[in-house]
Structure formats: structure tokens, C-alpha cells
Amino acid sequence: MLDSVPKDKTQKVIPNGCTDKEWKVTASEAAKNCKNYIRDIVDNLVLEPNPEKSLIALSIGDPTVYGNLEPPNEVVQAVLEAVTDGKYNGYGPTVGTDESRKAVAKYLSFDGVEYDFKDVILCSGCSSSLDLCITALADSKRGHNIVIPKPGFTIYKTLAESFGVEVRNYNLLPEYDWMIDLAHLEAQIDNNTAAIVVNNPSNPCGSVFTEEHLKDILDIAYKYKVPIIADEIYERLVFSETRFVSIAAVNSRVPVLVCGGLAKRFLVPGWRLGWILFNDPIGAFDSEVRKGLTCLSQKTIGSNSLVQGALPKILELTPQSFYDDLNNTLYQHAKLAYDILAKIDGLTPYMPAGTMYMMIKIEIQCFPQFRTGLELMQRLMEEESVFCLPGECFGISGFMRIVLTVPFDMLKEACERMSAFCIRHYQHYTPYDLESQA
């Protein structure tokens, strides 16, 4: 297609107002401003694995890649039934069918939160939930901005910038379990702030906010009268003693859109079932935003009907043991990686409280051979065939993120290779002034 030449260049062009312009098919600002930040960074890295060693990718946030983690049988069964049934091939309402909305409302009604099915909009994955929420709340024409976590998942930035909406980062504090730097958050907000994006549990940090912290965040939202978009795609994906609390459970007065979906907890990211829930105790979304989101849902017309058909069974029949086993596996993996990595001079792993990720700080001064964390990671790939995502993919330097869903032995092997690599390149760091005094 691309290389073929126009078959007919002879046809006369009839002169008129616009004839003379050549084909200059430009992309819209929306398309040009829509970036894939992870790809942009990764594509610019020189990534050559060591041919002697099998590649271990700790980079891919997809729990299904290695086949070691599988969705519950009940879930597979429910979809098989929906396919066989033949009743779930047609269009549903653009916001989802009543039955599947009811199932989601029920599934997320806990800890005192009560959702009605009318509070639920189904989307094509949580990405599309976030797309709709940001589109509905933020307006480039009014100079709107949204504030998002740093480090954080880049899709918020990708989506907002595509609409011409400014993005401001608020810091997460690694030394305080990646809690939000509340003063910094506050400093980002102004009259044009259309939404605060809160991601809990966090990708890439693996942190899980406490009730108290969530209340503090809500207080700031309340103070400035800014609605919250709560990305809770990792809800209840937490380890051992940690308890997941939805922001909705401690909210009494802030309009919140809670986004989530099946992707992570049910290990089926490809199924593209996401949701938006209205947690709006004061009814601030009633005048415009509910209607707006409902209308915007026409753009994709809900989620796949087979998965919707199966949804009530998926959410009801998945046994608690499945959730427990998954959380336990992820915890074992996290502990394994943490125990190995914590012993490596020059790396500081942060033990996650949930999700499927772990952040690792690179004490770059301990590796004077490398100028940046990015360079270190490229060499780690070159020498050990271990690939981690650089913190830069989440807006932060000097860190890397590893994915904990790879099989246990592979994770162990990867961490051991990282260890060997670091030992090889580590040079005891003596601050310059100390050295010169010596």
C-alpha cells in the first residue's frame, strides 16, 4: 500500500479556492499531543540482551505473560456460558447493562459504601474509564489543569495532554511509604484545577494509603472544591496485614469518580472491562457530569457484551481463596525480591504493600561508571539480560520498577543477576569532600 505510486497523475486539477494546495494531511493537535511516554523512553534506550543469558523482562505490567497466573475457573466458566448462551451478542446500553452495573455496584459496596447500579458506567478497560473522566471534567478551553502523582502511571498525562489539558505533578514520598506530599499537592492546585488524580494502591510504587492519609487528601480536595478521580484498578490487591480502603469509604463530602476494572485482580487485562463509579455524597456531579459521562460513553458503546454477560457470575462466584492466593503469591514474590535486593549495595528496594510492582532506588553515586540510572539499566540488560522499566517511564529519575508477577524462580534468577551485576560495578562511595580531607 505504502510504497505504491499513484496510478493516475494525469488528471487535470480544476482550479478553485483550494485546489492548489498539495496533500498535506496533518494530524490534529489531539493526535499529535497524544504521547506514549513509556514507549518514547524505552524506544530510545539501546536494549541488547546478552545472547548468553535468557531474557527476563521485569518490565511488563501484564500478569498473564508468563502463564503462571491464571484467572479463576469460575470466571472462565462464566464467560464460556455467556458465549454459549447466545444471549450476549447484541448491543447493550452505552453505559452497560443493568445486570452488569448492578453486579459492579454490589461488588464495590463494602466498608459502608453503598452504590446503586445507576452509579456505575462500564467502559472498555480502566484506561477508557480514565479517558472519559478526564474528558468529562477537564476543559482545555477554560485553561484547566489536572494534578497527578509523581511517580505515576503515564496514561493520565497522555490523556490530558491529548485534550490540551495541562498536567501538574504532585510528589509521592519514597521515605514515607510513598504517601502524597500533601503540601506539594496543595501547591499544585489553583482555580483552574479540574481534578485531582489519586492512584491507590499505586503503580509503580506498590504503596497502599491509610484511612488517615485518604482523609487528608479528601480534606484538600474539599478545601479547594476540586473533584477527585480515584484510580483504584489495584483495589484489594494488597498483602498480608495491609487493608485496602477505598477513598469512597472515608468520603462524606467530596465528589469522587472511582475508576477500576477486572484487569488486575482477575488477571484478565485483555478483556477490557473497566468501570467508573459515582461516589458523590453531595450530588455535585448531578447537574452536569453524570449526563456528560453518559453521553461520552457513546464513543465506545460500553464494554464487550460477553464479558458483561458473565460479569455477575465473575464478581459473585470468584471464591475468596482465589483473591487470597493471588495476594499471597504476590507477597511471596515481593518478599523474595526484597530480601535479595535489600542486600545489594547501591540499590534500595521499597517493599510494596500491594499491587504487582516494586520500586527500587538506584544509588547512582555508587556506580560511577554510569552517569544515570538509565545507563545502568541498559548495561544491566546488556550484561544480565534483565530488563526493568526506568523510573523515567513514571516521571521520576534514579529509580526502576520491577514487576512481581513473573514466576518465582525467574524472579529469583533475575534478582540474583541484578545482585551479581551490582557487585561487579559497585564502587564504595566516599563523598568528595570527605575524600579530599582524608
Please name which of 109, 151, 91 lies closest in space to residue 235, comparing C-alpha atoms: 109
Closer of 326 and 364 to a second copy (Cβ): 326
Peptide bond into 319 cis (omega under 30): no
Q: Which stretch binds a second copy (CB under 8 A): 24-32, 205-213, 312-320, 389-397?
A: 24-32
Question: Binders of ligand PLP: how many residues, by CB under 6 A?
Answer: 14
Tell me the per-residue interface mask from 269 to 308 with ligand PLP, x by CB under 6 A, - otherwise: x----x--------------------------x-------
Residue 434 binds which of a second copy, ligand PLP, none (CB < 5-8 A, kind-dependent): none
User: Taken in order 98, 103, 104, 108, is the CA torsion positive or negative?
Assistant: positive
Closer of 267 and 364 to ligand PLP (Cβ): 267
Residue 436 binds which of a second copy, ligand PLP, none (CB < 5-8 A, kind-dependent): none
d(CA 136, CA 128): 12
Q: Which stretch binds ligand PLP (CB under 6 A): 119-127, 141-149, 329-337, 381-389?
A: 119-127
Shortest distance in whole angstroms from residue 341 CB to a second copy: 26
Contact present, 314 and 78 (Cβ < 8 Å) = yes
Q: Is 354 in the site for ligand PLP (CB under 6 A)?
A: no
Q: Is 307 in the site for a second copy (CB under 8 A)?
A: yes
Shortest distance in whole angstroms from residue 263 CB to ligand PLP: 4
d(CA 18, CA 91): 42
User: Cell numbers at residue 288, please?
Assistant: 452536569
Site for a second copy in 357-376 (CB under 8 A): none
| Chain position carrying cell 510528589 | 171
Closer of 364 and 400 to ligand PLP (Cβ): 400
Q: Is 79 in the site for a second copy (CB under 8 A)?
A: yes
Q: Is 298 in the site for a second copy (CB under 8 A)?
A: yes
Q: Is 231 in the site for ligand PLP (CB under 6 A)?
A: yes
Q: Is 71 in the site for ligand PLP (CB under 6 A)?
A: no
Shortest distance in whole angstroms from residue 145 CB to a second copy: 13
What is the rounded (10 degree) CA torsion for 288, 35, 234, 226?
Answer: -30
Residue 416 binds which of ligand PLP, a second copy, none (CB < 5-8 A, kind-dependent): none
Q: Is 169 in the site for ligand PLP (CB under 6 A)?
A: no
What is the rounded (10 degree) CA torsion for 39, 412, 381, 400?
Answer: 50
Tell me the per-residue interface mask from 134 to 163 with ligand PLP, x by CB under 6 A, - otherwise: -------------------x----------
Shortest distance in whole angstroms from residue 47 CB to a second copy: 17
Shortest distance in whole angstroms from residue 192 CB to ligand PLP: 24
Residue 424 binds which of a second copy, ligand PLP, none (CB < 5-8 A, kind-dependent): none
Tell me the per-residue interface mask from 193 to 232 with a second copy, x by CB under 8 A, - otherwise: -x------------------------x--xxxx-x-----
- Which listed residue (133, 198, 221, 233) binds ligand PLP by CB under 6 A? 233
User: Cell numbers at residue 430, please?
Assistant: 566516599
- Residues of the shown chain interacting with ligand PLP in the complex, contacts defined by CB under 6 A: 61, 125-127, 153, 199, 203, 231, 233, 261, 263, 269, 274, 301
